[in-house]
Chain A
Amino acid sequence: MKKLIIALAATAATLGSFTVGAEAQEKTKVCFIYVGTKTDGGWTQAHDIGRQELQKALGDKIETPYLESVPEGPDAERAIERMARSGCALVYTTSFGFMDATVKVAAKFPKVKFEHATGFKAAENLATYNSRFYEGRYIQGQIAAKMSKKGVAGYIASFPIPEVVMGINAFELGAKSVNPEFKLKVVWANTWFDPGKEADAAKALIDQGVDVMTQHTDTTAPMQVAAERGIMAFGQASDMIAAGPKTQLTAIVDTWGAYYIKRTKALLDGTWKSEQIWDGLKDGILTMAPYTNMPDDVKAMAEETEAKIKSGELHPFTGPINKQDGSPWLKAGEKAEDGVLLGMNFYVQGVDDKLPQ
């Protein structure tokens, strides 16, 4: 009998210590919601690389579950809520279209922290973070104007949201700083992720005579078409040089890793605050892929512009700038305010398209 009691006690003790051990090892959950697949070669892949860097940097303290291919819309709310319920301490929702869903779930789970990429709605436990992609787009526009023989570029756009409109405008402004007559043709694919449709859009633009092209959609299909048809193109979100070794001029590369590490550390230290962060080239949240397939003088110009943007000497949205219809928007020397840029719903002069409303 005595033996049995000792055995039971020992078992209880082992079980007890086991539980304690598990508790001590319990890691903070930092969760990610992706709009595409983590291997899309573009936007979502860039976020996933950031997640991997985060896991590597803080691997002993955190785990980083993620959900892929979450559609924007009502499904997103379910997915985010599922993450919040599963014990995530911090949830990154990495697409503009998750904005309202994130706001709703954040209100339901006040103890969970949320960060929404590229949106503009914040709360006590909901921060937003964004990258000044337009800085890269401006540089692309300048390169395009130098490289294009026809003076017209093609732009594959996704959805008419401020983020995308801002990119189109920055590209056109960059191009016009080199060639005031430069024209920009825009095609709305109405998708972030559909290789076939993106390729069709690229073909349509090329058939209409553009000889340089950029994209604001997520797969490498347009780059591949550009390579096949022998025109030049820019990559989006990730370095797409593998899809067009002789085609890619440069790419805007999103480098979220440092940001994710910084914010997650703040969470672990207890210093996390809701902020609206909008970092740019100088902060390293976006970088330009190597300038390739262009003459040295164009490369030098691009590097100079990049340096000027980093130092703050050049702001792409500096007046005088007219709106598409010719009415004045910014006076000479005036710089656009961030709030206006984040809600941008109009084109600047020279964009050859009617903005879908």
Chain B
Amino acid sequence: MFEAILLTIVTAATPLVIAAVGELVTERAGVLNLGVEGMMIMGAVCAFAGSYLTGVPLLGVLCGILGGAAFSLLFGFLTLTLVANQVATGLALTLLGLGLSGQIGESFVGIPGVKLQPIVFPILSDIPFIGRLLFAQDITFYLSIALIIGVHWFLFKSRTGLKMRAIGDNHGSAHALGIHVVRTRYLAVMFGGACAGLAGAQLSLVYTPQWVENMAAGRGWIALALVVFASWRPWRVLAGGYIFGAVGILQLHAQALGIGVPSQFLSMLPYAVTIVVLIVISHNRRTTLINTPACLGKPFVPDR
């Protein structure tokens, strides 16, 4: 049973981790995109459509990624080219995404979806206890881990990543040094959108293989909280995603076991933990400042 619980936690945590690591890159480039929920739901509907219409769930995953990225391009155009307010545009993106996905998905409602099949590594998946957990999952799980490793390497070990962080910290100076601020930010926004789309694909192809309007049900917002929770560090996103997932699942098990903890309290726990972590990390002002992108959410207009 312990293994079954862990498997459920993995499924619950994966979309949070994927969407959050995408948003992390966007924010590291200095752009605050509050439209994660909208991009996620667009990814979910595109993935379901792709999988249903082609009959190949893997193509659905691709459609989800492309759908999320394309949708984020709208945000990029408004905030980077037209320099609109990022907070307002992000919120609008969420609302638009919820409505638009409902419209697109109207004919898919009630159709049982096809579940994305796991990719089983022979031999490795036979390792007792961790085998099934780590080596017999669907592609979105492997991608989530790869994304964490990849983003960590990109941000802290690569030259391009360093430039991108520089843009996020001081876009004026970065521009003066000849770094393409707007172009880099476009790419970062689209990466965030692609990740949110992939997270959405996980929802409509793995988590609950079906399309229901509004099926992200606030997971995009949790992903946003997770980025702050992780203080913009990829590995902490992974840890945080699993903590959030675990709390949600364990509280259900506690209830089924008849442990007398009020379910409202347990439902609140992930958010309470976020607040506690925020207090703890803000205790040391200097480390907080090091990780927070200083230009987060600020508009950039090249002066020459």
State the A residues within 8 Å of B (CB): 36-37, 39-41, 69, 154, 185-191, 193-201, 203-205, 207-208, 219-221, 224-225, 228, 242-243, 352-354, 356-357
CB of B256 within 8 A of CB of A196, answer: no
Residues of B within 8 A of A69 (CB): 98, 213-214
* A-B contact list, 19 entries, CB within 8 Å: A39-B106, A39-B212, A69-B98, A154-B256, A188-B255, A188-B263, A190-B263, A191-B217, A194-B218, A195-B207, A196-B215, A203-B8, A204-B249, A204-B253, A207-B8, A208-B257, A220-B210, A221-B210, A243-B112
Q: What 1/0 flags go to B228-272 for Cβ under 8 Å of A?
A: 000000000000000000001100110111101011100100000
Residues of A within 8 A of B258 (CB): 185, 352-354
Residues of B within 8 A of A188 (CB): 255, 263
**Cβ of A26 to closest chain B Cβ, rounded Å:** 29
A40-B212, A154-B256, A225-B208 given. 6 additional CB < 8 A pairs? A187-B255, A187-B263, A196-B215, A197-B217, A204-B255, A205-B256
Q: Given A40-B213, A208-B253, A243-B112, A199–B264 Cβ distance below 8 Å?
A: no
Residues of B within 8 A of A41 (CB): 109-110, 212
What 7 pairs across the A-B complex have the smallest Cβ distances? Answer: A37-B213, A204-B252, A188-B263, A194-B217, A39-B109, A195-B208, A208-B256
Give chain A's interface secondary structure class.
mixed
Q: What 1/0 flags go to B214-227 for Cβ under 8 Å of A?
A: 11011100000000
**Cβ of A46 to closest chain B Cβ, rounded Å:** 13
Residues of B within 8 A of A198 (CB): 208
Nearest CB to that of A244 among chain B residues?
B112
Nearest CB to that of B109 among chain A residues?
A39
B166-209 contacts to A (CB < 8 Å) = 203, 207-209
Q: Given A41-B110, A221-B208, A353-B255, A204–B8 Cβ distance below 8 Å?
A: yes
Q: In the complex, A205 Cα to B252 Cα: how many Å?
A: 8
Q: In the complex, A259 Cα to B4 Cα: how many Å?
A: 45
Nearest CB to that of B102 among chain A residues?
A37
Q: Does B5 contact A (CB under 8 A)?
A: yes
Q: Given A40-B212, A207-B4, A354–B260 Cβ distance below 8 Å?
A: yes
CB of A224 within 8 A of CB of B112, answer: yes
**Cβ of B76 to closest chain A Cβ, rounded Å:** 27
Nearest CB to that of A186 among chain B residues?
B255
Q: In the complex, A356 Cα to B258 Cα: how many Å?
A: 12
**Cβ of B9 to closest chain A Cβ, rounded Å:** 9
CB of B109 within 8 A of CB of A196, answer: no
Residues of B within 8 A of A228 (CB): 115
